Amino acid sequence: MITKDLLDSIASRSDMLSRRYYFLEKEDLLQEGYIFLMDLEKKQLSDLQKHKAINNKFSNVERAASSRQKIEKNVSSFEPEPFPLHYESEADTLLEREDVTNKLLNKLSHQEIVIVEWLSQGWTLDKIAATLGVERDRVYKLVNQIVKKRGELENV
């Protein structure tokens, strides 16, 4: 039988954990606790066994939340270093490539831009052809046209 004492135990543990860990919602913890209590009721355990099971359940939730909080603190304290440029020529090269890429995107048709995007996502020529509903050779020719346009811009 579910007693008021068992419900109060779940409510107090849910409230305490939701205040301690910002990412745990009290309502979610309550719902999870009540469902757990109903499962315990089906097993016909004594009240003492139910209390122990509830304490164990919320201890596991707290342990997981504590681990998550530690990980979040470690990740938030990590600041990636800026990309090191050892030589000015590297910076110039990067700027030139970015300029060429912007010019290329302005020259490409909508279909060519879509193909470039899909290629950058790792799509194969066959998958692109099937998606566009064209032959693989047509996609191959379009990719060659894109490469040729890029080469022309780099040589200018």
Q: What is the pLDDT of residue 85?
A: 53
Where helices occur in the chain by DSSP H, the ranges are 4-20, 26-42, 47-77, 88-107, 110-120, 125-132, 136-155
Among 67, 68, 49, residue whose Cα is nearest residue 57: 49
Contact between 8 and 49 under an 8 Å Cβ cutoff? The reply is: no
Confidence (pLDDT) at 72: 75
For 64-102, the pLDDT digits (tens) are 888 888 877 776 555 555 655 555 566 677 777 788 888
Contacts of 121 by beta carbon, 8 Å cutoff, 6+ apart: none
CA 35 to chain centre: 29
Q: Which residue has the higher pLDDT, 81 or 121?
A: 121
Single pTM value for the model? 0.47
Instruction: Read off the tokens for 57.
Output: 């359940």
Looking at the predicted structure, is the pLDDT value of residue 135 above 80? yes
Please give the Cα distance from 9 to 16 (Å, whole number): 11
31-69 pLDDT per residue, tens: 999 999 899 889 888 888 988 999 999 999 998 888 888
Angle, CA 44 vertex, CA 41 and CA 46 arms, to 5°: 95
In this structure, CATH architecture of domain 88-155? Orthogonal Bundle (1.10)
